[in-house]
Amino acid sequence: MHPALIFYYIYCFIFGSIVASFVNVVIYRLPRGISIIKGRSYCTNCHHVLQIRDLVPVVSYILLRGKCRYCHTKISLVHPLVEMSGGILSIFCFYHYGLSLTCLFVFVLSMAFLAISIIDIETMTIPNQLNITIGILALLSMFIWHRPFFSRVLGAAFSGTMLLMNFVKEDSFGGGDIKLCFFTGFMLGIVNMTVAMLIAILSGGFCAMILIIMHQVKLKAHMAFGPFICLGCLMGLIYGEKLALFYLHLFFY
């Protein structure tokens, strides 16, 4: 690997982890109705304002041994995992798109997906603010990927299918899930969205099966579906056409 490329990957990881550190703020504050732009970061237990040395992504967690410097309460492992995920996703976007507007767009989208996933797991809800963010990105995507408008409309129609399923079985999908599918479907188009939902359903079903086998959830319990939609949509966005062509070639040629 070229030394310059290694430098870019390191830079991408640092940049992504810094952005993901802000995503941690969004994850904590948004469901609680706290402003995400006002006020400095603080320990959620002792409310001591954190210094810069306490906020270095991943590194601070390791040096502090996973505890608050001031009250010694354990810091949730979610924080460094989110920061590491941001760094990895940044490298992932750069690997696929290089230094480009598309790279920045997909990275911002992946950060929104990351926030949605963690919040949905923790609260079983998807904040409207984040769905609106996805909606804005869906509109902006028209200037990046010139997909037929009718394909985008059909992609958004997946949300209608989910809505109909709620009439068959009450609370099959949450309102946040349906809104998320509407916006992402418009962004991806019918082909990519079909792949995305297939990935979401398969990964969600596999995870649910594992949790049931491990007796972590009951058979009829509700499980956050937002993270699987986000995973499916990110994979569908990047690999959708390739996976669709592979499927057609596998079964029809």
pLDDT of 24 reads 95
pLDDT of 251 reads 65
pLDDT of 158 reads 86
**Among 193, 190, 187, residue whose Cα is nearest residue 235:** 193
pLDDT of 167 reads 76
pLDDT in tens, 203-215: 988 888 887 777 6
pLDDT of 101 reads 95
pLDDT in tens, 135-172: 999 999 999 998 999 999 999 998 888 888 877 777 67
Q: Which residue ranges in the chain fall short of pLDDT 50? A: none
- What is the domain partition of the chain in residue ranges? 1-99, 125-253
Look up residue 29 and give its two tokens: 């504050």
**Among 248, 141, 214, 216, residue whose Cα is nearest residue 184:** 141
pLDDT of 7 reads 85
Predicted TM-score of the model (pTM)? 0.91
**Among 216, 222, 223, 147, residue whose Cα is nearest residue 185:** 147
Query: Strand pairing partners for 74?
Result: 67
pLDDT in tens, 36-57: 888 888 888 888 888 888 889 9
| List of long-range contacts for 131-134, beta carbons under 8 Å, 24+ apart | 131/176, 131/179, 131/180, 131/183, 134/109, 134/180, 134/183, 134/184, 134/187
